[in-house]
Chain A
Amino acid sequence: MKAISLVSARVAVLDRPDVDTDQIIPKQFLKRIERTGYGKYVFFDWRLDEDGNERPGFELNQPQFAGAKILLAGRNFGCGSSREHAAWALQDYGFDVVIAPSFGDIFRSNAAKVGMIIVELPDEQVKELMEGVDLDRGSDLTVDLDAQTVTTPDGKVLPFAFDPSTRYRLLNGIDDIGLTLQYEAEISAYEHARAT
């Protein structure tokens, strides 16, 4: 996993609650056995019409959101299916950060595993950030995982809480399995204790 700490980039707004992982990556793309290349399928049915052309009304197709690395979304983002493909698709499309009032538990954990920063802010603050986005020219935000802050273009700083162990792993790009295997002796001891 690549280390990640500071993301200062274009923001896209998807102001809908309960965006489920079936929407983020529809089932037909789950038959692939690869881990990469899901970006072109992200929000497939919302983003593209039957002929594969971009739907002009869909949020992510707005020109001012092009190249966004930060997604501002509604509550309960990533609910539903456990498919990690949702995190792979968002990341491959270009998103390093999702900011929302709440997240589906499994999505949140999957996103952290692949090296995305999942920022939970109070509902009012997310709404405020959304309202602050310039819908003609687009806006940028700065997300600093080290400092645990989101900074707006006009200098407003919003602190956020973050699980310390997940933060440590993200900042250092640490492979979770390698870390756990350091405790091999403890796992074996647990197994022996259970077997007797």
Chain B
Amino acid sequence: MPGQSLFDKVWDRHIVRQEPDGPTLLYIDLHLVHEVTSPQAFEGLRLAGRRVRRPDLTVATMDHNVPTLPGPITDPMAKAQLDALRSNCEEFGVELHGTGSGSEGIVHVIGPELGLTQPGKTIVCGDSHTSTHGAFGALAFGIGTSEVEHVLATQTLNQKRPKTMLLEFVGTLPPGLTAKDMILGAIGQVGVDGGVGYVVEYAGDAIRKLTMEQRMTVCNMTIEWGARAGLIAPDATTFDYLAGRPQAPRGADWERAVADWSSLPSDPDATYDAHVVVDVSELAPQVTWGTNPGMVVPVTSTVPDPTAFSDPDDRAACERALAYMGLRPGQAIEEIPVDRVFIGSCTNSRIEDLRAAAEIVRGHVVDARVTALVVPGSAAVRRQAEEEGLDRIFLDAGFEWRLAGCSMCLGMNPDIVAPGERCASTSNRNFEGRQGHGSRTHLVSPQMAAAAAIYGHFVDVRALAAEPVPA
């Protein structure tokens, strides 16, 4: 029998039923729920007289449309949706990490933080960035509301076995570069539809050297190149992160769990349907210029010229993107001024992200033309940052220091970018209107976002150490 990949092992452990040549009925170990994609699913259960089969495997949080300023929620529709989540959780017996509980936050930040996310689990959520949890060697993917209802009712999903891909990061990541640059660089190379139909395993030395939070940044953006899930083999870094977390196993259970998790990494002779190599040794800090995450270049580069694209669809897409973004071909990336800076989202709002951004900000002041926002990913991240004094660094520099939530990543709450404004954002999507109607988003790492806030335009963070503090 040929060797099994990490994906094969996790998948095979969760088969409840296999139709010959048909879908697999896959057992789901953890179902994460938030306010936006669940109300219609709970309503479906009610209408059919069904219950939540495993409330003990279901965990809810409020994140997408919660305000990040203190005080009552003023948007009546957002309030109705949050109220619906609260009453649904009460009615169906689901644990809720509600606003003000102290354990609330972005669903993909609190899952790992609480130790709910563990190697070998199948994890779903009505959110495409569920891929984040793959950083632990879990099979984690986003689902739609019909599937949310299906999991609530049956704790299973019908899934066709996907193709597998190995994406190997080779080379050593240069100083000043981040996990965000690795994944943006990879998407630039493979394209936004390069992973459609696949589950990907990220591997290579550069991955092994990443911390858990950095691995989460990589896996988070898996869906941005079309793959529904991205996994990283669990190792000592994974186990060290999980040890002692509230929901992690303890005592003898922990020993057994680690022994089991250690059997999950792909066998040396495992096979994949596709294999991609991304060399990180020549990577420079990445900045997106267009309206999808694959439209990305190094900060040292310029805005591309549509005529450089041979494919007519790509050329037309480039023209539309430049018109929307208000950019001209050949413009230096470092000359692009920004109006807003957003440090947050399920991609880059964890404590290490905030530390890295604060390191750049320390002793500097936000450019007078820029409004800059830091939104911690969870209430716990916010507390930790305040204990470390990071909030003071941001506030002293002129950043706003907000409460946890998805915030300006998608602007469902009041945190939106105005029409025509340009935002350096640590989030995951630069789609048209993503951060607000008419908003122009440039995706970058936390360090690059922090530097853009100080200078008022994009700068190469690698050069900052050598430069004097701007007046």
Interface residues of A (CB under 8 A from B): 15-18, 20, 22-23, 26-28, 30-35, 45, 74-76, 79-85, 87, 102-106, 109-110, 113-114, 163-165, 176-177, 180-181, 183, 186-187, 190-191, 194
| Interface pair A164/B146, CB less than 8 Å apart | no
Q: How far is the CB of A157 from chain B (nearest CB, A)?
A: 25
**Interface positions of B from 315 to 368, Cβ below 8 Å from A:** 316-317, 320
Contact of B37 among A15, A16, A83, A191 (CB under 8 A): A83
Chain A residues with CB below 8 A from B40, complex form: 33-35, 84
Given A23-B431, A30-B412, A181-B153: A82 in contact with B146 (beta carbons within 8 A): no
Chain A residues with CB below 8 A from B411, complex form: 27
Contact of A177 among B50, B197, B320 (CB under 8 A): B50
Q: Is B25 on the interface with A (CB-CB < 8 A)?
A: yes
Give B85's nearest chain A residue, CB to CB. Answer: A33
Closest 4 pairs between A and B when the two form their complex, measured CB to CB: A110-B144, A84-B144, A113-B146, A33-B39
| Interface pair A180/B228, CB less than 8 Å apart | no
A38 to B92, CA, bound (A): 27
**Interface positions of B from 7 to 59, Cβ below 8 Å from A:** 16-17, 19, 21-23, 25, 27, 36-37, 39-40, 43, 48, 50, 53
A190 to B26, CA, bound (A): 10
| Interface pair B292/A20, CB less than 8 Å apart | yes
Q: Which of A23, A81, A187 has the most CB of B within 10 A?
A: A81
Chain A residues with CB below 8 A from B37, complex form: 30, 82-84
| Interface pair B17/A22, CB less than 8 Å apart | no
Give B412's nearest chain A residue, CB to CB. Answer: A27
**Interface positions of B from 55 to 73, Cβ below 8 Å from A:** 64-65
A33 to B81, CA, bound (A): 6
| Interface pair A104/B196, CB less than 8 Å apart | yes
Given A27-B411, A31-B75, A31-B412: A80 in contact with B80 (beta carbons within 8 A): no
Known contacts A31-B36, A177-B150; can you find 15 more A-B pairs with CB under 8 A? A15-B313, A16-B313, A18-B317, A22-B429, A23-B431, A30-B36, A31-B412, A45-B433, A84-B146, A109-B144, A110-B146, A113-B144, A114-B146, A165-B23, A181-B153
| Interface pair A80/B128, CB less than 8 Å apart | yes
Q: How far is the CB of B18 from chain A (nearest CB, A)?
A: 10
Contact of B193 among A28, A76, A114 (CB under 8 A): A76
Chain B residues with CB below 8 A from A176, complex form: 146, 150, 158
| Interface pair A177/B81, CB less than 8 Å apart | no
Q: How far is the CB of B90 from chain A (nearest CB, A)?
A: 16
30 residue pairs A–B, Cβ–Cβ below 8 Å = A16-B316, A17-B317, A18-B192, A18-B193, A18-B317, A22-B431, A23-B433, A26-B433, A30-B412, A33-B84, A35-B43, A76-B196, A80-B224, A82-B126, A82-B130, A84-B40, A84-B144, A105-B226, A106-B143, A106-B144, A109-B144, A109-B147, A110-B146, A113-B147, A177-B149, A177-B153, A180-B153, A183-B25, A190-B16, A191-B155
Q: How far is the CB of A95 from chain B (nearest CB, A)?
A: 16
